[in-house]
Structure 1
Amino acid sequence: MANRRDKKAGKSQDSEVDALGELLSAAGILGEDRAGDPTQEARLGEILGHYDADMRIALTQRVVSDESLKPIKIKRFCEEHALTGAEIKVVESLCLGRSMAEHAAEHFISPNTARTHLQRVREKTGISRQADIVSTVLA
């Protein structure tokens, strides 16, 4: 009996999250063009203030895409490991799926310099494989 009630509550919460997500999208609150707009942030705060913490988390997970979280995850990872500007650019390129040759060409550096930056990222993070760096950053 309790299990059925929990499932029903979960479905109810899901539909509330969907409805709130649609409302926020329709109101233009979540568009990238509105990021940093204090009026929109205040409106979002008012709307979210009516919901408990679990509902806010559920909404955030549904509305915010992994792609929009990527820069935040990269920044957090780089700060955690005290990476330099050049090393941060390497991590960003890796997370965008670029090779070191593409990274070097894009940033007007030699491939050897790009590999050196990557080696320093490996040393600072203790992660030896490029794919493992990306999966750790984006986890």
Structure 2
Amino acid sequence: MPTIEEQRNKAIAEQIRKMAGMEPEETSQSNTVIPKQKTEKPKEKAQEIVSQIVDFETYTETFLNPCIIENRVSFSLNRETLDVFRHILHDLRSKITLSAYIENVLREHLSRHKDTIGKGIEKNRRKPIIP
């Protein structure tokens, strides 16, 4: 019987996979974890999920570094997502604030996808009406 900690870690991992658009993982005979992709509706565009395996030290340097947020604003976030972030920080015994962690995650996302975002902006930018 799995311990409470194992059940909690499994629930967190499942929630992260759901947020990434993946179905719960299946385990094979050799205990190798193979995530299954969700089948998308025909009308929806297929979205490529970019994954990069990094070691924990790199993750810590990237996401668990404190940062000063000078011009604070508030925003809404799904409760489940917020709980996942809180559990991650708690389970890693990190001293970083939740706000700093979310800031680091968003900055890394923008940095990693800036070319794709830039192309999308250029594609959707309206042409000037007056030449």
TM range (shorter): under 0.3
Q: Computing the radius of gyration over CA atoms, which structure comes out larger, 1 or 2?
A: 1
TM-score normalized by the length of structure 2: 0.26
